[in-house]
């Protein structure tokens, strides 16, 4: 079968097909700027497994585009899991990257396990592909409540938990392992969010949902600020003046103690991290959810970070705060995401999802996003 780029079909894999199951199409990055759709036979259904047909697959414009651009460190260096260090050596995930994406919604078409019933729609994280053979002992499957739009499931298995984990880190910064609610770090507090991408907007919405006194979202893009406003958050244009001066003038705690109680840094730019530090009141903490693909040379640690005794905490989904893992597993993070969507699902579907495109247009879409020929908030591939 001929190779197909930017929406075409590539060569077929040689695994034995499962009789009756259609071939699966898989988005694959074969090199910088090169995205294809690869067709392969479906894996045989085995006892204890179940098959899902993909309904929707959300695109992450941070992590995924780093593979398309060639800027992800996993492409170029080794990773020692024991030492938790990047080191010279064989790349962790060289090209071709065949598992791209983590925001899927699928419907169970066949099941040979009592754990998952046929017909159930659930959120998963298995990459951009039209079908998947899952093992409930390995793969997370979060059933979607019938009252929610199934498309909202793109946020449930992984993206939403990323943002919930950010709030959990803010709570642990105050209360350590005594945290009881994900809102403990924002309730009644003044919150700033730098970056109005999907992570920033969902994080800001979570802070609002959990009782923050104020939630200000700082972003230079007018369209993203408009989405923030539509979600009930206060947008702030950094081009209108120094946001640090504005918010520190507005948010006074005591003489010499002004600024945000907590800042969620959600934009992968060094300038955004520098701004996040400047927005904080003394001895407060930036909760950092961003991915700095080019490093952070613009961050000036000799200024506000040093003089105001600030903290910087990276909150990535691989770990909840120390001591909280027994109570805050991934299922609970997904549960908090579902609670948010029950409260604001209509707003999220209307304003955060900016485009829904056919699956086979995924390669062209990723190429356009990586080259900045197209700007979107949350794009969803429909199968």
Number of domains in the chain: 2
User: Residue 132: inside a domain, yes or no?
Assistant: yes
Q: Is the pLDDT of residue 18 over 80?
A: no
CATH number, domain with residue 237: 3.40.50.720
* Whether 256 and 281 share a structural domain: yes
Same domain? 153 vs 172: no
Query: Average of pLDDT values for 118-136?
Result: 98
Query: For residue 7, what pLDDT is reported?
Result: 32
pLDDT value of position 296: 79
The residue behind tokens 């009756």 is 20
pLDDT tens digits for 95-116?
999 999 999 999 999 999 999 9
What is the crossing angle of helices 198-209 and 330-347, to 10°?
A: 90
* pLDDT tens-digit readout, 227-284: 999 999 999 999 999 999 999 999 999 999 999 999 999 999 999 999 999 999 999 9
Match 């899902």 to its residue by tokens: 52
Sign of CA dihedral 169, 175, 177, 178: negative
Give the CA distances from residue 170 to residues 85, 114, 200, 235, 339, in Å, rounded to whole numbers and listed in that order: 25, 39, 14, 21, 19
Please tell me the predicted confidence (pLDDT) of residue 146.
96
Give domain status of residue 17, yes or no: no
Predicted local confidence at residue 19, as pLDDT: 63
Does residue 78 fall inside a structural domain?
yes
Q: List the end-to-end C-alpha distance of the chain, in Å, as a whole number.
A: 21
Do residues 145 and 169 both lie within one domain?
no
Q: Please compute, for residue 214, the number of CA atoms within 13 A of its CA located in the half-sphere on the CB side.
A: 17
Helices (H) and strands (E) in the chain, counts: 9, 19
Comparing CA positions, the residue from 241, 311, 237, 240 lying closest to residue 281 is 311
Residues 153 and 170 in one domain: no
Least confident interval from 90-99, 118-127, 362-371: 90-99
CATH code at 62?
3.90.180.10
Q: Check if the beta carbon of residue 215 is closer than 8 Å to that of residue 193.
A: yes
**178 and 305 both lie in a single domain:** yes
The pLDDT > 90 percentage for the chain reads 81
**Residue 377: half-sphere exposure toward Cβ, Cα within 13 Å:** 24
- The verdict on 142 and 207 lying in the same domain is no
Q: At residue 9, does pLDDT exceed 90?
A: no
* pLDDT one-digit tens code per residue, 308-361: 999 999 998 889 999 999 999 999 999 999 999 999 999 999 999 999 999 999
Question: Is the residue at 77 inside a domain?
Answer: yes
| Residue-level pLDDT at 25 | 97
| Domain assignment of residue 261, given as a range | 160-314
167 and 281 housed in the same domain? yes
């Amino acid at each position: 079968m001929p190779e197909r780029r930017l929406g075409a079909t590539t060569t077929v894999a040689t695994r034995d097909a499962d009789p009756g199951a259609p071939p699966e199409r898989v988005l694959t990055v074969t090199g910088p700027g090169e995205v294809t759709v690869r067709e392969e036979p479906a894996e045989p259904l085995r006892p204890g497994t179940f098959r899902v047909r993909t309904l929707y697959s959300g695109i992450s414009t941070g992590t995924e585009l780093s593979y398309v651009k060639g800027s992800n460190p996993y492409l170029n260096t080794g990773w020692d899991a024991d030492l938790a260090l990047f080191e010279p050596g064989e790349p962790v995930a060289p090209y071709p990257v065949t598992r791209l994406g983590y925001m899927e919604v699928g419907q169970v078409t066949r099941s040979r396990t009592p754990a998952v019933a046929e017909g159930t729609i659930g959120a998963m994280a298995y990459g951009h592909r039209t079908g998947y053979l899952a093992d409930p002992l390995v793969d997370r499957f979060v059933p979607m409540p019938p009252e929610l739009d199934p498309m909202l499931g793109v946020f449930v298995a992984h993206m939403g938990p990323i943002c919930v984990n950010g709030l959990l880190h803010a709570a642990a910064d105050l209360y350590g392992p005594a945290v009881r609610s994900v809102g403990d770090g924002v309730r009644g507090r003044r919150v700033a969010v730098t970056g109005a991408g999907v992570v920033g907007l969902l994080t800001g919405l979570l802070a609002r949902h959990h009782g923050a006194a104020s939630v200000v979202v700082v972003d230079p893009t007018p369209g993203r600020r408009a989405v923030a406003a539509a979600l009930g958050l206060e947008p702030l244009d950094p081009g209108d003046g120094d946001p640090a001066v504005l918010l520190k003038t507005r948010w006074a705690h005591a003489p010499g103690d002004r600024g945000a109680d907590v800042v969620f840094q959600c934009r992968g730019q060094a300038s955004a991290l520098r701004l996040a530090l400047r927005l904080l009141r003394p001895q407060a903490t930036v909760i950092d959810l961003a991915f700095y693909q080019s490093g952070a040379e613009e961050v000036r640690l000799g200024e506000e970070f040093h003089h105001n005794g600030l903290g910087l905490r990276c909150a990535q989904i691989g770990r909840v705060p120390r001591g909280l893992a027994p109570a805050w597993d991934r299922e609970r993070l997904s549960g908090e995401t579902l609670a948010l969507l029950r409260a604001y699902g209509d707003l999220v579907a209307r304003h955060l999802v900016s485009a829904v495109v056919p699956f086979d247009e995924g390669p062209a879409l990723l190429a356009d996003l990586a080259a900045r020929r197209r700007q979107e908030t949350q794009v969803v591939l429909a199968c």
